[in-house]
Structure 1
Amino acid sequence: MDRSILHVDLNNFYASVECLYRPELRGRPVAVGGDIEQRHGIILAKNYLAKKFDIKTGEAIWQAKQKCPNLVVLPPDFKLYLRFSQLARNIYLDYTDQVEPFGIDECWLDVTGSGIYGTGEQIAEKIRQRIKSEMGVTVSIGVSFNKIYAKLGSDYKKPDAITVITKDNFKDIVWPLPASDLLYVGRATARKLHNYGVNTIGGLAATDPKYLRQWLGKWGDMLWAFANGLDNAPVAQYDNLAIIKSIGNSTTTPRDLETDEDVKMVFYVLAESVAARMREQGFKGQVVCISIRDTELYSFTRQVKIDHPTCLASEITNTAMQLFKNNYEWYRPIRSIGISVTDFSHGDESIQLDMFCDQGRRAEQETLERTVDWLRRRFGHFCVQRAVVLQDQALTGFNPKGDHTIHPVSYF
């Protein structure tokens, strides 16, 4: 029996949710973007009225304003978007437990065994209507016999539409589309295919796989299979959470970093976020990685394995600083910076300790950091801060906005 796969895409998700909560903005071009003053000034999402002005996701806000001076740019509210994303997934789960998220606003559903609710197209129509009536936003849904074509279907007609791609009609619908519309064909791959005269998905499907293998390596075989509708990848069960392989955080800083002290302050802020998330998951990590980008956009990453697993922000920061000093000579100021930790073990797993390791002191430090986690959940993130991050509050983002009832204190 042919599978029945749906790909559901919430239309203009961020902007749609914002317009739902701000009725006065309906009928106006709206975009969600970063903070210009904090140098995160790019377009993250836009509504269809903004699209008419050729405003693109990822372009600078100042460029978008040149195209559309009346553009309304709103800061993102990710907690709100996550809540709406979960509401949508709860609707999908009424029809199948095979719901695989693809980002915050897209999901694949396998409804092959959901015949009591109707055909794939009928289920798609029920979901489309429920999302619209229960949540106030719209979706586009692709219905097909595999995941790749289902995603092409959700992109084919927007907004508030359903497209059915079958084994009988896929050559008419899919093959005339640009090769760049196929999932996993990025700009570089599309450009390389164009250089060889392959411009459509049909052209890709008709190309001898041995040539694609020469041009693209192992990706050539995979893209040829996708173009010909030979994708057999399953839709994951919703409760089969992906294994977390790394936890990280990065930022474009409000001003250029020019000294080791600047870098250390930002590393501490990032490491505190990473360490808190690791403790929440019950993880300790043994590999610390840093990423650095300077003002001319040259970037590099470096990583090192430490002697023992850790979930301490102080140890992560100290390791990151040593990596940084060993690999950067201050040729130029730094614009963005990141930290991640990987090679996880669970906190309750036994580990081999160095005989010179002061395990008692490390246990005390972990207890302190867990206590800080609790205080921040209870009284707000800014109630307790390391003294080092208070040296330059604009750089480190210290901005208590009355979200706690006690005065902030610092600790080392």
Structure 2
Amino acid sequence: MKTNQVHGRIIFHIDMNSFYASVEMAFDPALNGKPLAIAGNPEERKGIIVTCSYEARAKGVKTTMPLWQARKLCPELIVKKPNFDRYRQASKAMFTLLREYTSLVEPVSIDEGYIDITDISTDKNPLVIAREIQSRLMEELLLPSSIGIAPNKFLAKMASNMKKPMGITVLRKREIQEKLWPMLVGEMHGVGEKTAEKLKTLNILTIKDLAAADTIQLKSLLGVNGERLKKRANGLDQRPVDPESIYEFKSVGNSTTLPKDSSNEHELLAVLKRLSQSVSNRLKRKEVLGTRIFITIRYGDRRTVTRSEKLNNPISQEEEIFLQAKKLFELHWEGEPIRLLGITSTDLIEKQEAYKQLDLFSFETDAGEEPILNVIAKINKKYGDNLLIKGIKTNTQHNETSETSFNKDFLRDKKD
């Protein structure tokens, strides 16, 4: 693979417009031009808008809005449950099309990605290539898209957000003062609501303010991310388009909204148990272990608490995850009725690279397993890694339509 030049690159960010809704319209043209929403569990209170068509947005319907509220704003709203198999197939087709132009394609999620066309732009004008890609996505797959064109990934991402739907925007470094800096800092890619609130304490309200901010103050407030965000605000981003990054899983998590607010401890612990099983299954399927556990508690008044703990040893077993989550829950639950619970495992490491730090509590178990582990290690050394692993490696497919990390999970079969 050719290595990109850090300077003078031409990067596209392709962002599919209202992807789930657009896929449904492509499957059923009768939905075209109508207010359409994709929502989980439409029959229950926990139905939340995952995405919606631009016709629905014109009526005030928004992503993450409760379904009851959306129907109040738009009584004629058509609601469909997510069909993840259909979306996964559409995503594959989209990225297959992009790879016809270059091998430097980096999927970011199921409906967006970067491509580096530096090496092919000598034959064609970048705008011509962008228009061709956008037209083909629409004509061949019936899927609308917006494309940002810039010298780096950050600016390309910002550019693709500037014109939706079906926009093509060029953002050059010399244009950032005019196009980028007047924007509110909360509109900047990489700055969430909480970060924007923190930045306000330094009187940083716009991207221009962030670009001119004191680096030491930013690092004190946000750590290394503060310095990184300042560089982005000044249009600096040297990250290459990396096709291999799709195989890097930084976190595995799942959350669920309860049918009704609950303060029943037995019921809440049962929910944590189910979430632990789901997270464990996915960690094992990806052959990774987590070294930090997060829990999320959202109360009936929508106040959300997130707490985490760094682990001494990497884990993936359901019982280990549950014990850590239960400990965090009992430590931080205030006894008030809960609407949502979530568990996330982060700081992941590959199973074959994991090591366990023996302590007084795990030594006896580990020592008991040592003979069989030694046999497995010897066979693998002689005949190749992963010929044998402790336990059984399965290809069991799990129903994940209710999980929160689908945008990453769709990548799991790209190695096939």
TM-score with structure 2 length normalisation? Answer: 0.74
What is the CA–CA distance in structure 2 between the aligned matches of 1:249 and 1:216, rounded to whole Å? 29
| Alignment gaps of 5+ in structure 2 | 1-6, 373-388, 401-416
**CA RMSD between the two structures:** 3.7
- Which residue pairs with 1:336 in the alignment? 340
What is the CA–CA distance in structure 2 between the aligned matches of 1:26 and 1:103, rounded to whole Å? 24
Kindly tell me: are residues 381 and 166 of structure 1, through their superposed partners in 2, closer, same or farther at Cα, counting changes over 3 Å?
closer
Q: Which range is displaced more, 115-124 or 187-196?
A: 187-196
What is the CA–CA distance in structure 2 between the aligned matches of 1:194 and 1:283, rounded to whole Å? 38
1:149 correspondence with 2:121: no
The SS at the match of 1:102 is strand
Which of the residues 71, 77, 81 maps onto 1:75? 81
Q: Which residue identity is paired with 1:183?
A: H
What is the CA–CA distance in structure 2 between the aligned matches of 1:221 and 1:237, rounded to whole Å? 23
Give yes or no for contact 1:15–1:32 (8 Å, CA) kept in 2: yes
Which of the residues 365, 383, 407 maps onto 1:357? 365
- Which residue pairs with 1:40 in the alignment? 46
Give yes or no for contact 2:154–2:237 (8 Å, CA) kept in 1: no
The SS at the match of 2:245 is coil
1:279 correspondence with 2:284: yes
The SS at the match of 1:59 is coil
What is the CA–CA distance in structure 2 between the aligned matches of 1:164 and 1:299, rounded to whole Å? 40
Residue 174 of structure 1: CA displacement? 4.0
Q: Which residue identity is paired with 1:71?
A: L
- Which residue pairs with 2:377 in the alignment? none
Q: Deviations over 1:139-162 (max 9, x none)?
A: 111112222332232222222232
1:293 correspondence with 2:301: no
Residue 175 of structure 1: CA displacement? 4.8
- Which residue pairs with 1:84 in the alignment? 90
The SS at the match of 1:115 is coil
Residue 168 of structure 1: CA displacement? 5.5
- Which residue pairs with 1:121 in the alignment? 127
Q: Which range is displaced more, 261-270 or 138-147?
A: 261-270
Which of the residues 319, 326, 330 maps onto 1:314? 319
What is the CA–CA distance in structure 2 between the aligned matches of 1:98 and 1:28, rounded to whole Å? 36
What is the CA–CA distance in structure 2 between the aligned matches of 1:71 and 1:26, rounded to whole Å? 13
Residue 32 of structure 1: CA displacement? 1.4
Give yes or no for contact 1:267–1:320 (8 Å, CA) kept in 2: yes
Which of the residues 9, 14, 22 maps onto 2:28? 22
Residue 289 of structure 1: CA displacement? 3.9
Give yes or no for contact 2:262–2:337 (8 Å, CA) kept in 1: yes
Displacement over 6 Å in runs of 4+: 191-199, 214-220
Using CA pairs under 8 Å that are at least 6 residues apart, name the structure with larger relative contact order, 1 or 2.
Answer: 2
Which of the residues 147, 153, 171 maps onto 1:165? 171
1:132 correspondence with 2:133: no
What are the equivalent positions in structure 2 for 1:99-118 lying under 5 Å apart? Answer: 99-115=105-121, 118=124
Residue 265 of structure 1: CA displacement? 2.3
What is the CA–CA distance in structure 2 between the aligned matches of 1:103 and 1:328, rounded to whole Å? 33
Residue 29 of structure 1: CA displacement? 0.9
Q: Which residue identity is paired with 1:14?
A: Y
Q: Deviations over 1:194-244 (max 9, x none)?
A: 89887665x548x74349947966766655543443x13223321234533
Give yes or no for contact 1:312–1:369 (8 Å, CA) kept in 2: no
Residue 369 of structure 1: CA displacement? 8.2
Q: Deviations over 1:68-107 (max 9, x none)?
A: 1111122222332232222212222222333333333222
The SS at the match of 2:37 is strand
What are the equivalent positions in structure 2 for 1:235-274 lying under 5 Å apart? Answer: 235-241=240-246, 243-274=248-279
What is the CA–CA distance in structure 1 between the aligned matches of 2:288 and 2:230, rounded to whole Å? 40
What is the CA–CA distance in structure 2 between the aligned matches of 1:210 and 1:287, rounded to whole Å? 32
User: How many percent of aligned residue pairs carry the same amino acid?
Assistant: 32
- Which residue pairs with 2:413 in the alignment? none
- Which residue pairs with 2:60 in the alignment? 54
What is the CA–CA distance in structure 2 between the aligned matches of 1:279 and 1:191, rounded to whole Å? 37
What is the CA–CA distance in structure 1 between the aligned matches of 2:293 and 2:179, rounded to whole Å? 47
What is the CA–CA distance in structure 2 between the aligned matches of 1:212 and 1:61, rounded to whole Å? 44
Give yes or no for contact 1:5–1:120 (8 Å, CA) kept in 2: no
- Which residue pairs with 1:409 in the alignment? none
TM-score with structure 1 length normalisation? Answer: 0.75
- Which residue pairs with 2:414 in the alignment? none
What is the CA–CA distance in structure 1 between the aligned matches of 2:123 and 2:108, rounded to whole Å? 24
Q: Which range is displaced more, 186-195 or 260-269?
A: 186-195
The SS at the match of 1:239 is helix
Find the structure with the greater CA-based Rg.
1
What is the CA–CA distance in structure 2 between the aligned matches of 1:325 and 1:194, rounded to whole Å? 33
